[in-house]
Amino acid sequence: MVSAPNRPARARSAAEKTQRRDDILRAAERLWNTSTYTDLSMNHVAREAQLAKGTLYLYFDTKEELFLALVSEHLQTWINDTIRLLQERRPVTPAAVADALLDASSDVVPLRRLMLLLGTVLERNVRPELTRDFRRDVTARVQMLISHLPFSDTMSLKILRHLYALAIGWQHLAEEFTTSATDAVAAPGPDPYAADFELAMRAVIDRLAAQDTARR
């Protein structure tokens, strides 16, 4: 557990509330790095954040809601980083686009693990309005990302969908064949499926680019 000074029971200013919410997310993320979703509880997060359990419920009604916030945060970071990389490189060929997307996705295991939970656990167990707001926000951010890809909007969306499906699929496979839950979380060393993921992603982009060119 991370040691911290005693904190007031309730954050009062907007800045304090924002910081408290971030403290809770960071505590959950630290635990998420060494535990599975099933084994992690709101009690664990409260202890890690040095807060009373009741304080957590001032910010998140459920564990699912807390983790949906983590998904949103990680996804926003990935999209922002990917846009920044595309702006720097300005790729125009399928190979260059693949290079940029693969580089942007080379160190996002926490996001891939969170995305495994998204459709199976999180969106099914949070308030409908949160799911609606989450999807609206993701759609807006994806549209921003699409605008920085050198292909038609339709093809760019297909590429991102394939990237998502491949990333989730390979992450699931990696966890499926680990020897224990602890191994699946820790995932020491290089990703054993990185080369396979890259091969599949390049093949998808090449094929979609050829189809896009043929339609013009």
Is the sign of the CA dihedral 29, 31, 37, 42 positive or negative? Answer: negative
Continuous H helices in the chain? 14-32, 42-48, 53-56, 63-89, 94-104, 109-117, 128-146, 153-176, 181-186, 194-215
Helices (H) and strands (E) in the chain, counts: 10, 0
**Torsion-angle region of 51 (φ positive above 0: left; ψ -120 to 50: alpha; else: beta):** beta
- What per-residue confidence (pLDDT) applies to 14? 84
Residue 34 has a pLDDT of 85
In this prediction, residue 60 carries a pLDDT of 94
Is domain 1-60 annotated with CATH 1.10.645.10? Answer: no
- Crossing angle of helices 94-104 and 194-215, rounded to 10°: 140
Other CB atoms within a 10 A radius of the CB of residue 117 amount to 17
The b-or-e profile of 68-81 (16+ CB within 10 A means b, else e) is bbbbbebbeebbee
pLDDT for the residue 213: 74
Closest CA to 56 of 36, 29, 27: 27
Q: pLDDT tens digits, the chain, 216 residues: what are they?
A: 444 444 445 667 888 889 999 999 999 999 988 888 999 999 999 999 999 989 999 999 999 999 999 999 999 999 999 999 999 999 999 999 999 999 998 888 888 889 988 888 888 889 999 999 999 999 999 999 999 999 999 999 999 999 999 988 888 887 776 544 445 555 445 566 778 889 999 999 999 988 877 776
DSSP H or E stretch at residue 54:
helix 53-56
Give the architecture-level CATH label for domain 62-215: Orthogonal Bundle (1.10)
Q: How far is residue 61's CA from residue 40's CA, in Å, rounded to a whole number?
A: 15
Task: Delimit the domains of the chain by residue range.
Answer: 1-60, 62-215
Give the pTM: 0.84
